Structure 1
Amino acid sequence: MEYQENEYVTYDNLIRMKFKVGKIVACTEVNHSHRLLCFQVEVGDKRRQILSGIKEYYKADEVIGKKVLILDNLKTMKMAGLKSEGIFMLAEDLNGDLSLMIPDRDVEPGVEVV
């Protein structure tokens, strides 16, 4: 992903974003999509459906049980006719490969990232 060096986010913008830890409890491939996976993510006492175009980097069965970082208060959007209620935080390496951001300690799903 490219960004401009002068594209800064203000503190007020940042504090409106709610980053949380989620636990992937289910994942399926999206029909008729070469890129999308559909995730069911436990975020505290809520369950969120998140669609992500990371099929090239992860198989549906290998992500179940992983704890991941998500943006929890992203406006719901439709992708491939399905709703997506959040977005994963990913890292992109120098080759363009994506990696899910995973907490380095065992934390409960739903805790806020500060």
Structure 2
Amino acid sequence: QVDVGEKTLQTVTSLVPYYSEEELMGKTVVVLCNLQKAKMRGETSECMLLCAETDDGSESVLLTPERMMPAGVRIV
């Protein structure tokens, strides 16, 4: 579940090898919300966490704001 300001959206992520659930809880992240809902691994994903990943997929890191921003601010 991701708080995007006016609502909470569900996301399905491939970041499991890189982050534990505890590491993700309460973390401020950059999210794309203007996507169509998609079924992934039997669950509905309503948004996408943005991350950077090495070419070989050995490392993936979440993009985070440089400073604290309110939930739901637009990416421009």
Identify the residue that residue 69 of structure 2 maps to in structure 1. 107
Q: What percent identity do the matched residue pairs reach?
A: 39
Aligned Cα root-mean-square deviation (Å): 1.2
Q: How far is 1:92 from its partner?
A: 1.2
Note the C-alpha offset of 1:94. Answer: 5.4
Q: Which runs of 5+ in 1 are unaligned?
A: 1-39
Contiguous gaps of at least 5 residues in structure 2: none
- Pick the structure with more strand per residue: 1
Q: Which has the larger radius of gyration?
A: 1
Deviations 1:50-107 (A, max 9, x none): 0011110000111111111111111001112210001111101355310000001010
Q: Distance in 2 between matches of 1:85 and 1:94?
A: 26
TM-score, normalised to structure 1, is 0.62
CA–CA distance in structure 2, aligned partners of residues 79 and 92 of structure 1: 20
Structure 1: 4+ residue segments shifted above 3 A: none
* Corresponding residue pairs, total: 75
In 1, the alpha carbon distance for the partners of 2:46 and 2:6 equals 15
